[in-house]
Amino acid sequence: MPDFADKLKPASPDGPSILAKERSQSDVPVDELAQHLLSRSDFLKRQEKILPVVSKDPLFNKTKQMNLSRPERYQLGLARAKKLRLLADQHGWDTKDQEMSQYLCDDVSPFMVHVSMWINTVREQGDDEQRRYWLPKIEAWEAIGCYAQTELGHGSNVRGIELQSRWDPKTKEFVLHSPTLTASKWWNGSMGRTGNHAIVIAQLLVPKSNESKELVNHGPHPFIVQIRDLKTHEPLDGIIVGDIGPKYGYAPMDNGYMLFDNFRIPHSAMLARYSKVDPNTSKYSKPANTAVVYGSLTFVRATIIMHARLIMARAVTNAVRYTSIRRQFSDRDSSDRSAPELSVLDYTTVQIRILPLLATAFALHYTGEAMHNLYEGTRAEIEKGDFGRLAVLHAQSSGLKSLCTELAANSIETCRRAMGGHGFMASSGMVQLNNDYLSKPTVEGDNHMITQQTASYLLKRMAAAVAGKGKPVDEVERDCREWLSKEHNRKMPTPKVLESDEEIVDAFRRRSRDQTYRAYVERDIKKRSWNSLLIQLRKISIAESQSILVKNFYDGVQSSTLSSPARKHLSTLFRLFALYTMDAEARDFAKAGAVSNDDLDELPFKIQELMAQVRPHAVSLVDSWKIPDFLLDSALGRYDGRVYEDLFNRAHRLNPLNEITFNPYYKNEEIIMGSGGGDVEKLLAKL
Amino acid sequence: MSEIPGWVKALKPSGPQGSELLEHERNKSNIDVDQLSTFLFTREGMERKKRILDILQKEKVFDKSQNYFAGRIDRFETALARAKRLSQLQDAHNWTQDDKMVANDLISEPGPYGLHEGMYLITLRDQGNAEQHEKFLKPAQAYRHIGCYAQTELGHGSNVRGLETTATWNPEDQTFTIHSPHLTASKWWIGSLGRTANHAVVMAQLIIGGKSMGPHPFVVQIRDLKTHQPLPNIYVGDIGPKFGYNTMDNGFLLFNHVKVPHISMLARFSSVDPKTNRYVRPASPSLVYGTLTWVRSTIVMQAGGVLARGVTIATRYAAVRRQFQDRDAPEWEQGENQVINYTTVQIRLLPLLATTFALHFTGKGMMALYAANQKKMSQSANSGDSKRGAGPEETHSGSDLLADLHATSCGLKSLASSTAVEGLEMCRRACGGHGYSSFSGIGPWYADYLPTATWEGDNYMLTQQVARYLLKSARTVLKGGEPTNDTTSILSYFLKRQDQGAAFDILGSDSDLVSAFAWRASFLTFEALRHRDEQKKAWNDLLVDFYRLSRAHAQYIVVKNFYETLQAPTSELSSETLAIMHKLFRLYALHTLESEASEFYTSAAVTVRQIQLARTNAVMNLLTEIRPHALRLVDAWDFPDWQLDSSLGRKDGKVYEDMFHRAAELNPLNRVTINPYPDSPILFQNNDSASLKSKL
């Protein structure tokens, strides 16, 4: 319907001209940098290929979805997931293409676990016969699966789960049973409504011998279980399964609960690549290395870190573009009273919130790359039966996952708030992003809990280094020994972090070693209890992870073959990230003798100086992440800067609430104007 | 889906039951919960809450069980039905405004009448003259006029002076023309405007004879009183879904040369003389902003309670939830450890618990200060003090009580709401995976509270006003002015002592602890002054320093208020409870000091050794000492389960039973059987969710 609002324009200067000016003032080689950041697995090419297909399809139109109820959101998610699979068949998309379509669609898919944990677990933990039997069915989406590990009463601690799988030698079956309510599987994605199969993790109970009644608990093991009828999709007898209800985000995902009542499954259900029960003798044989059970968890963590950088880049893209356009208050030092209001990004209080995060997105990138390489390397070794590096990988992946997801989750909210009031609107593109991403700090291991794994590993290596017997088992222990003999005894000069990037890297390393050593003294020498040290242990995990981030960032920029403008900006971002992080943890660096007090005092000024260097290039730097408008789904962060037109359009023309006229007078029982009453009764029926 | 079978109904949570664990926790402490609640809320306040809760729980329309599942339109429609019913109940039971506020607190969702009651009525009352009270306030009180307060615009938030909507005086027919010249002039974010209101107080730039006189308030009818359709040349609607607050119809509003009569301009403080066409200057324009200062004071007061909800839920759940066996536990102690025993959990929750009390007492202090100030101002307004400049953005001489109140309210609002927002999210995350479920009760509550960090002044922008005030006060002190209020007193003390230094015994003396906070705030004030006045640094380059300064000052005010509350003769509290409250004070103060260690150290208020001792000994000891009382302390906040609407925070500890009940029995998605195969176009094979709704 045409109305007078159609002719109105935003007050000048308008968004497009502001962004054009920002872009023209910067020498950042956007396309070169984009290639540098997004080449792994042809990411950018893939994005260009898939985007037109997905964005043209009306089913993937995102503008009204935030108005829907939970069941409607699930229904929409299901429709989209099916459609994406059909598109994949039609266009011959490979797995990476499908992941890209999922990423651009940006709605959590009810099949997410099916295409990740479910298939990966079968692939990695099934024996050859199991793989032959299951993988074709899984790839055809006939056996639709999920991964049921956590329970109502048990999260990160796999050993604490209660579901039992008892081997019955007579029938040669396993009996799955939930002895308590807290044994209910809980949170398991794709299980509530979608999956017809599940990998179920249960405590394996095996009789001492075929005749014995005494059961031995061999700990948690994975079983493949059909949970729903393949025709009617109703749960099988003896299984209760359903969706756990609405969450902070993840609306289209049917996280589920599941209980078993003495439910029998055949011998072939136990994934038998590493450990098995002999069907005739009932003898249990152990896996070569127990840590291998966590292999797929480690893979998921590596992927999470790669994903985190794109999430941050997205949040920062929205924030940088909008705060460049948004104006508020005139410069207090300007003598011209009629001067236009300042761009919000010119305020240092806004810069200090956004620009270090921009730098952090790059920092995560280089560690993501390095982690990826390390995972690929380790995986090949595991395939060969060599588990040696798994300890390093596992320890690093948990600490890094914790730090990186926390950084990314917090960055969304920090950016959203820096965007002022409009950041609260769904059309800012920050709301669903925040809601969906916030699960990450707890999914796959609570961030506070899993840092213990990293800390525990570091403490062991430090203890071994102090003992100093034989050859060091890995590079961390080797470095601990080095540190003990040199820096620990203050034999080396204090790094000059304001002068040399290399010495920044060294300062982070020294501070991490120092933190580990102090914790080692508390634990191993003073014999303090583990629980009383948890806060300190978390800190050593963070210190080590930050040190890895800084080192990878430095190495990544050094070893790149980029043009000199690109390197110049990346070096500035490196310093901003490193010094900003250092400033926040200044006391630790001082204590470790890793930075001089004079340098620490100087940090806030140096950071402000670095921000001033980044500021004119901020728009181009976020452009280089090439996040398409379709993915941003943000009126505030759109590439062309037509912020206010889009905000208004979404509110005015794309808002279903405005299609209803309500009756606001409280003495009148009508809720909807002209309904003639009875509205409250209809509502009550829904409550 | 079939009925829940018997074998499921018979299942219990494993190990010690939640109810047993909480009972055990409560037995560890001898705090008199009822006595502490009374101290916080008064006997009268607690009885009021109980009386109103009884009434609300009996009304089916307030049933909360489907809130977490519904879509935007259903949520809004239900919210409107609730708002109407609440007004009917108010009539039926003769509720006062306080009663209704308690009811709103218990219902805990923003409602479509929120801005009518919270801003429209108050603005008419405070800024209208007698004639306007007759014409506008009376029908508004009868809910024939339903109003809102339309200030912010699409392109303009905190800066009122930047508003684009114009109100041009027409001498020929003695009317104003309200007009939106640009798209960015659209009113935006205005609560109760989108679908509900038929009137609005519109803030617009007043233009007389081509000259702009700044923003002024106009009462404008925007919808027909019968059909509720927008009037001609008015474009109004809801702005769409948001992070939270989806039960509220925040709206947009555009005017296309709309004429309103002379009486529309609220004229208590400024007006246009219809005979001479002259602008009559405000008597005391600062009073105009009294409403905003009042709103900020209530935000500080509420922040304690807002945070306490999250802390209550997280603390109770941390006592029920068990994870991992204690690594050092002796063999005979079987089973997983209660999460609340982990020091990483304690260090997140217990300082927040202390913060809830700190904010509550500070809010109380602020409200008292506000009342005293209002009294004083209404006296001076009568005596015709007309020399003040306009607006909250400019404060006055350092000794002015208004300036002190205004600056304090800005700084505290910023600190209190940021602390509550961040604290809630920390509580949610401390709940682990289940914190992400809507049934935790924290997520939705957080989402509804979030905008408080932005509205009534963005938390970062506001801190500039505090800094400006502190700098002015410091200049007064430097010139040798006598201290006339607390701010100038602490600045003077610092100035006298700065060369001798201070030796505060922060670990031994509570009053020294307060003084250390005063010292650090004073130090930062003079540092900022040096940067600005001596080094002539640009205002913009100092914003981060100003933010830190404001935060330091607000933390000092909080520490001071907490301390003074406990110093006042408190025969109402037993000596055991008082001792715990002192520990909470110390935990809040020392934990804050430790998190801001470098500022305290640089200002020479404390030594590095003291900070180290605070961190490794004092704070850790306080955690251990407060830990046994945590449950009773959150109980004292006296939240009914109905208000919390949380599985994890249930008072009886039946966490897992409730999670399961909500998921399995209240969840409409489980009445749907789907078709999961991509080649089938069928999505939902059958959908009994409607039948579930009708059953409940």
Last residue of a domain, one of B635, B664, B690: B635
Residue B231 lies inside a defined structural domain of this protein? yes
Last residue of a domain, one of B635, B655, B688: B635
Percent of chain B with pLDDT over 70: 90
Q: Out of A444, A503, A544, A645, which one is annotated catalytic?
A: A444
Which of A417, A655, A662 shows the shortest C-beta gap to B80?
A662
Q: Does the distance separating the beta carbons of B14 and A179 come in below 8 Å? A: yes
A441-500: pLDDT as tens digits: 666 566 677 788 899 999 999 999 999 999 998 889 999 999 999 988 877 889 999 999
Q: What is the pLDDT of residue B397?
A: 38
Which runs of consecutive H residues, i.e. helices, occur in A593-678?
Answer: 597-614, 618-623, 629-632, 643-652
Q: What is the pLDDT of residue B378?
A: 66
Tell me how long chain B is: 696
Q: What is the pLDDT of residue B387?
A: 41
Q: Out of B25, B164, B456, B657, which one is annotated catalytic?
A: B456
Does B300 share its domain with B264? no
B320-375: pLDDT as tens digits: 998 766 666 554 445 668 899 999 899 999 999 999 999 999 998 888 877 777 77
B218, B266 Cβ separation under 8 angstroms: yes
Give A298→chain B minimum CA distance, Å. Answer: 19
- Domain membership of residue B494 as a residue range: 291-327+336-381+390-635
Q: What is the pLDDT of residue B389?
A: 38
Residue B522 lies inside a defined structural domain of this protein? yes
Judge whether residue B380 has pLDDT over 80: no
Q: Does the distance separating the beta carbons of B539 and A333 come in below 8 Å? A: yes
Residue B493 lies inside a defined structural domain of this protein? yes
Judge whether residue B431 has pLDDT over 60: yes
Q: Does the distance separating the beta carbons of B437 and A245 come in below 8 Å? A: yes
B486-515: pLDDT as tens digits: 899 999 999 998 888 788 999 999 999 999
Does B489 share its domain with B426? yes
Judge whether residue A163 has pLDDT over 60: yes
Q: Does the distance separating the beta carbons of A421 and B451 come in below 8 Å? A: yes
A349-358: pLDDT as tens digits: 999 999 999 9
In the block, tokens 């020929």 appear at B172
Judge whether residue A661 has pLDDT over 90: no
Q: What is the pLDDT of residue A377?
A: 73
pLDDT band for position A678 (50/70/90)?
A: confident
Q: Does the distance separating the beta carbons of A245 and B662 come in below 8 Å? A: yes
Does B358 share its domain with B402? yes
Q: What is the pLDDT of residue B485?
A: 83
Q: Which two tokens stand for residue B39?
A: 């101290």
Tell me which chain A residue has its CA closest to the CA of residue B152. Answer: A421
B407, B470 Cβ separation under 8 angstroms: yes
Which of A154-163, B242-251, B414-423 shows the lowest per-residue confidence on average (mean pLDDT)? A154-163
Residue B93 lies inside a defined structural domain of this protein? no
Q: What is the pLDDT of residue B396?
A: 39
Judge whether residue A292 has pLDDT over 70: no
Residue B97 lies inside a defined structural domain of this protein? no
Judge whether residue B687 has pLDDT over 80: no
Does B365 share its domain with B260? no
Cα separation, B547 vs B541, in Å, equals 11
CATH of domain A117-287: 2.40.110.10
Predicted TM-score (pTM) of the model is 0.82
Stronger pLDDT, A656 or A28, i.e. the higher one: A28
Assigned superfamily of A297-621: Butyryl-CoA Dehydrogenase, subunit A, domain 3 (1.20.140.10)
Q: How many domains does chain B have?
A: 2
Q: Is A189 annotated as a binding residue?
A: yes
Q: Is B131 exposed, middle or buried (0-12, 13-18, 19+ CB in 10 A)?
A: exposed
Judge whether residue A40 has pLDDT over 90: no
Does B470 share its domain with B344? yes
Percent of chain A with pLDDT over 70: 93
Which of A540-554, B498-512, B640-654 shows the lowest per-residue confidence on average (mean pLDDT)? B498-512
Is the Cβ of A440 closer than 8 Å to some Cβ of chain B? no
Q: What is the pLDDT of residue A198?
A: 97
Q: Is B423 annotated as a binding residue?
A: no
- Using CA atoms, how far residue A164 sits from A278, B17, B469, B640, in Å, is 18, 20, 66, 38
Q: Which two tokens stand for residue B465?
A: 């006003």
Q: What is the pLDDT of residue B400?
A: 62
Give A220→chain B minimum CA distance, Å. Answer: 15
Q: Where in chain A is the domain with CATH 1.20.140.10?
A: 297-621
- Using CA atoms, how far residue A423 sits from A419, A434, A627, A637, B364, in Å, is 5, 11, 18, 10, 31
Q: What is the pLDDT of residue A4?
A: 81
Region A312-326 average pLDDT: 96
pLDDT band for position B560 (50/70/90)?
A: very high
Which of A298-307, B293-302, B380-389 shows the lowest per-residue confidence on average (mean pLDDT)? B380-389
Does B254 share its domain with B369? no
Residue B221 lies inside a defined structural domain of this protein? yes
Q: Where in chain A is the domain with CATH 2.40.110.10?
A: 117-287
Q: What is the pLDDT of residue B70?
A: 87
Interface predicted TM-score (ipTM): 0.76
Ramachandran area for residue B219 (φ above 0: left; ψ -120 to 50: alpha; else beta): beta
Q: Active site includes A444?
A: yes
Q: Is B46 exposed, middle or buried (0-12, 13-18, 19+ CB in 10 A)?
A: middle
Q: Which two tokens stand for residue B445?
A: 């509550």
Q: Does the distance separating the beta carbons of B684 and A244 come in below 8 Å? A: no
Q: What is the CATH number of the domain that holds B220?
A: 2.40.110.10
Q: What is the pLDDT of residue A685?
A: 77
Contacts of B621 (CB under 8 A, 6+ apart): none
Region B589-605 average pLDDT: 91
Q: What is the pLDDT of residue A376?
A: 74
B259, A444 Cβ separation under 8 angstroms: no
Which of A181, A326, A684 shows the shortest C-beta gap to B12?
A181
Judge whether residue A503 has pLDDT over 70: yes
B201-259: pLDDT as tens digits: 999 999 999 999 999 999 999 999 999 999 999 999 999 888 888 899 999 999 999 99
Does B210 share its domain with B295? no
Q: Which residues of B touch A247 (CB under 8 A)?
A: 436-438, 443
Torsion sign across C-alpha atoms A584, A590, A592, A595? positive
B270-319: pLDDT as tens digits: 899 999 999 987 655 555 556 667 777 788 888 999 999 999 999 999 99
Is the Cβ of A232 closer than 8 Å to some Cβ of chain B? yes
Judge whether residue B377 has pLDDT over 70: no
A562-588: pLDDT as tens digits: 999 999 999 999 999 999 999 999 989
Q: What is the pLDDT of residue B282?
A: 62
A325-344: pLDDT as tens digits: 988 766 667 666 566 677 89
Does B454 share its domain with B522? yes
Judge whether residue B108 has pLDDT over 80: yes
Q: Which two tokens stand for residue B124?
A: 């008419």
Nearest to B632 by CA among B33, B24, B15, B1: B33
Q: Which two tokens stand for residue A142?
A: 């006939």
Does B430 share its domain with B372? yes
Mean pLDDT, all residues of chain B: 87
Does B302 share its domain with B184? no
A201, A222 Cβ separation under 8 angstroms: yes
Interface test with A, best of B72, B425, B694 (most A CBs within 10 A): B72
B34-47: pLDDT as tens digits: 999 999 999 999 99
